[in-house]
Amino acid sequence: MTNEFTGKKVLVAGGTGGIGKAIAEAFLVGGARVFVQGRNLQKLEKLISELDVKYKGNISGTSSNLLIAEDFSKLLDAANNFLDGIDVLVSAIGSGKFKKTGLLTQEEWSQVMDQNFYSTALLLNTAAPFLEKGLDSNVVVMGSIAGIERLNAPVGYTVAKAALHAYVRAMSAELASRKIRVNIIHPGNIYFEGGRWEEIQDEDPAGTKNYIESVVPQRRFGSPEDVAQAVLALASPKSSFITGASLEVDGGQSVSF
């Protein structure tokens, strides 16, 4: 896919995370100019200085907390200043680290929905006017297989990801007339250093190995790069007739759902 994205302008929200970082780098390899967003400024600066060594001048970013209304327009303005338009928006914002029970207070529901649903929905709302000016503009949202079937994931996270799935399908129809495609990827168990699965594995190595081998037909974790390649496939102009689609990147785990 090298250079397939030359001249493309890509905003990766949640681009400082394990999956988001791999997505940002895959677009850079493909020739795109990339703007990343994350919350933690130190993490963001480290990522940009690392990537700028290889992809000189094609990477920039800003830190923002997408639970704060004003931060959405600040982010889009900063991205537009660097990119001069937006062709592809990826949202890899979210976290499955939450209490397991679904008996949540109103405040807890707000927290989990803000982080895993509203952040992406409000981002798309703010980005749509920029996207509709692009060529084959499209959005790729990070869902989770937890949002399509019951797993041992926190109930609030499950509900937020299910809402994202429904949102993407509904918005693909609404935004088709504005020539914006919208698709969703549902990752399975994605392992990387510093990620949630490293934490779980450290707590119970034998149980984790047993779990992965029993529920994933490929009997392995996925990598952030596995997800990144799926994002590029959906964002590619070759996929210009694909909208409202959901793609599981899970080593076959969801085939038994």
Q: Which residues of the chain form contacts with ligand NAP (CB under 6 A)?
A: 14-20, 38-40, 43, 65-67, 92-96, 115, 119, 142, 144, 187, 189-190, 195-197
Beta-bridge mates of residue 182: 139
Min CB(6)–ligand NAP separation in Å:
25
Rounded CA gap, 28 and 51, in Å? 9
For residue 209, the number of C-alpha atoms closer than 13 Å in the C-beta half-sphere is 4
Nearer to ligand NAP among residue 5 and residue 118 (C-beta) = 118
Nearer to ligand NAP among residue 22 and residue 128 (C-beta) = 22
Nearer to ligand NAP among residue 83 and residue 231 (C-beta) = 231
Of all residues in this chain, which one has the CB nearest to ligand NAP in the complex?
17
Rounded CA gap, 67 and 193, in Å? 26
Min CB(65)–ligand NAP separation in Å:
5
Min CB(3)–ligand NAP separation in Å:
26
Nearer to ligand NAP among residue 84 and residue 193 (C-beta) = 193
Nearer to ligand NAP among residue 109 and residue 197 (C-beta) = 197
Phi, psi for residue 155 in degrees, rounded to 5: -60, -40
The two structure tokens encoding residue 73 = 């327009």
Min CB(40)–ligand NAP separation in Å:
3
* In the block, residue with structure tokens 């429904």: 166
Is the sign of the CA dihedral 194, 210, 184, 163 positive or negative? Answer: negative
Min CB(165)–ligand NAP separation in Å:
12
- Give the contacts of 92 (CB within 8 A, at least 6 positions apart): 12, 13, 14, 15, 17, 19, 20, 23, 142
